[in-house]
Amino acid sequence: MVAADRGVATVSSTELAEAAGVNAATLRRDLSHLGTFGTPGTGYEVSRLLACVDEALAVGRDWPIVIAGAGNLGRALACSRGFTTGGFRVAALLDVDPAQVGSVVNGTPVAHLDDLPAVVSRESVALGVVATPASAANDVVGRLARCGVRAILNFAPTVVAVPGDVLVHQVDLAAELQVLSFHLARHAPDGPGPGDPG
Amino acid sequence: MVAADRGVATVSSTELAEAAGVNAATLRRDLSHLGTFGTPGTGYEVSRLLACVDEALAVGRDWPIVIAGAGNLGRALACSRGFTTGGFRVAALLDVDPAQVGSVVNGTPVAHLDDLPAVVSRESVALGVVATPASAANDVVGRLARCGVRAILNFAPTVVAVPGDVLVHQVDLAAELQVLSFHLARHAPDGPGPGDPG
DNA sequence: CAATGTGAATTCTTTCACAGCC
DNA sequence: GGCTGTGAAAGAATTCACATTG
């Protein structure tokens, strides 16, 4: 149970560290980078702590984003909690499929990809998400960059090159799966695991 | 262009490092953990290199997985390149919605969640993916653990507790978005970025 | 007394630089 | 000559431990 839910106004670094599974000293040092707001003998005032973390993460600002690709992944992201809270707001989904354009997903309109410049300009979009097939990713990234989008999150399995100072982060949904299978393989290389190949 | 595509049989650590954007010495040391297979004066034989990396990542084994939740995210994952290649095979999607059960997504059948034990047993599934709403995640993780699934990838925004030695990895789709917005905020705190709140 | 914030010690990672090999 | 693999140096991150404070 989290501190705030217990009606307690303060948390100690030890409590937080145990909950997060990290060392208490490390946690204190990390928090100290955000300023000095702990009380010796008592701990951290929860409301103050939350406010400082939000401040540091630039939560509370308005971050309009666009999601290119209204397929399963694009729609899933548009409905995802993390994409619709914490300051992020999905200004539009974009697709080239006439059957998709004009529909509404989770309150967000699906616009044609050609309307990207208009949407970006109107909503001051600085962040773009690419959830298209790999074949379309390069074109879409180029369009986003030309519209003035300054950071791009790419879910397509393609390494994309951008002209200039646009920030691109690649997301590999299967990477974590590989990590897990790796651990299983180490733990029981010949045990009762997955079936034989073939 | 990648080495193998140029008809070249070997790559040097410098080439690989530049392509990956890392230091050459680091790359050499990392590869040395997989064994010794470079040729001084020449570089790494590409086919040998690929074989060793695949070996180390346990690619080539058969890793049947199940995906719980046949919503947008579950379907997107079932169609995702990384989930259907590299040794992974989606044995089944699972859902409780009667409208979904019985349908087929990208060649994968959607079964009822109650059939989980049968599927896991029949296909020797050791890896589970949770793509359900947060409210269902805890129940699903418990079911997976009880069936003998030994590692779970959780896309639901809930910290789940598992009984025993089951490995759980949490995936936060919005985390990367926060990283990007953080960088934008640092780079131009008051510049022509996102619009004003409100 | 309990818990923070931080010097100092430790541990891990990255990088340099070069002996040895092709 | 060019390149690997690795000992040794440099740099970062983590952890200990304690003076300090409410």
What are the b/e assignments for A34-66, b being 16+ CB within 10 Å?
A: eeeebeeeebbbbeebeebeeeebbbebebbbb
Query: Which segment of B138-142, B145-149, B182-186 scores lowest on mean pLDDT?
Result: B182-186
Residues B19 and B37 in one domain: yes
Residues B85 and B20 in one domain: no
B197 occurs within a structural domain = no
Q: In the predicted model, is pLDDT for residue B14 greater than 90?
A: yes
Residue closest to C4 C1′ by Cα: A40
Q: Edge to edge, what strands does the sheet with B43-45 contain?
A: B10-11, B43-45, B38-39
Residues B125 and B69 in one domain: yes
B187 occurs within a structural domain = no
Residues A48 and A69 in one domain: no
Å between B10 CA and nearest CA of chain A: 22
Residues A77 and A48 in one domain: no
B154 occurs within a structural domain = yes
Q: Residue A48, CB, less than 7 Å from strand C?
A: no
Q: What is the mean pLDDT of residues B167-194?
A: 78
Continuous H helices in chain A: 13-20, 24-32, 46-56, 72-79, 81-84, 116-123, 134-147, 175-187
Residues of chain A scoring pLDDT < 50: 1-5, 190-198
Look over chain B and give the mean of its residue pLDDT values, rounded to a whole number.
89
Residue B162, chain A, CB below 8 Å: the answer is no
Structural domain count, chain B = 2
Residues A164 and A112 in one domain: yes
A190 occurs within a structural domain = no
* CB-neighbour burial class of residue B21 (10 A; exposed 0-12, middle 13-18, buried 19+): exposed
3-state secondary structure of A162: coil
The amino acid sitting at B142 is G
Residue A195, chain B, CB below 8 Å: the answer is yes
B189 occurs within a structural domain = no
Residue A177, chain B, CB below 8 Å: the answer is yes
* Closest residue, chain A, to B157 (C-alpha): A81
Residues B100 and B52 in one domain: no
Question: With a CB-CB cutoff of 8 Å, which residues 96-115 of chain A face chain B?
Answer: none
Query: What is the pTM for the complete model shown?
Result: 0.87
Q: Write the CATH number for A23.
A: 1.10.10.10
Query: How confident is the model at residue A16, as a pLDDT?
Result: 95
B161 occurs within a structural domain = yes
Q: In the predicted model, is pLDDT for residue B5 greater than 60?
A: no
Range of the domain at B86: 63-175
Residues A40 and A68 in one domain: no
Residue closest to D16 C1′ by Cα: A25
Continuous H helices in A107-150: 116-123, 134-147
Q: Residue A43, CB, less than 7 Å from strand C?
A: yes
Residues A126 and A89 in one domain: yes
A137 occurs within a structural domain = yes
Domain boundary among A35, A56, A77: A56
From residues 167-186 of A, list those within 7 angstroms of strand C by Cβ: none
What are B19-36's pLDDT values in tens digits? Answer: 999 999 999 999 999 988
Among residues of chain B, what percentage have pLDDT more than 70?
90
Q: In the predicted model, is pLDDT for residue B60 greater than 50?
A: yes
Q: How far is the CA of A194 from the C1' of D9 (A)?
A: 45
Query: How confident is the model at residue B194, as a pLDDT?
Result: 46
What's CA A90's distance to the chain center, in Å? 12
Query: Which segment of A133-137, B54-58, B152-156, B188-192 scores lowest on mean pLDDT?
Result: B188-192
Residues A50 and A71 in one domain: no
Q: Write the CATH number for B98.
A: 3.40.50.720
Q: Contact B151/A184 with Cβ under 8 angstroms? A: yes
Chain B hits for A126, Cβ within 8 Å: 184, 193-194
Chain B hits for A72, Cβ within 8 Å: 72-73, 75-76, 79
CA distance A143 to A140: 5
Among residues of chain B, what percentage have pLDDT more than 90?
69
Residues B34 and B80 in one domain: no
Q: How far is the CA of B104 from the C1' of D22 (A)?
A: 64
- The model's confidence at residue B18, banded by pLDDT at 50, 70 and 90, is very high
CB pairs under 8 A between A and B: 164
What are A65-98's pLDDT values in tens digits? Answer: 999 999 999 999 999 998 998 889 999 999 999 9
Q: Residue A40, CB, less than 7 Å from strand C?
A: yes
**A162 vs B102, which has greater pLDDT?**
B102
CA distance A145 to B44: 36
Query: How confident is the model at residue B7, as a pLDDT?
Result: 57
- Asked if B173 and A77 come within 8 Å (Cβ–Cβ), the reply is yes
- Asked if A81 and B196 come within 8 Å (Cβ–Cβ), the reply is no
Domain boundary among B56, B72, B99: B56
Query: How confident is the model at residue A104, as a pLDDT?
Result: 98
Q: Edge to edge, what strands does the sheet with B167-170 contain?
A: B104-105, B108-112, B88-95, B63-68, B127-130, B151-154, B167-170
B191 occurs within a structural domain = no
Residues A69 and A45 in one domain: no
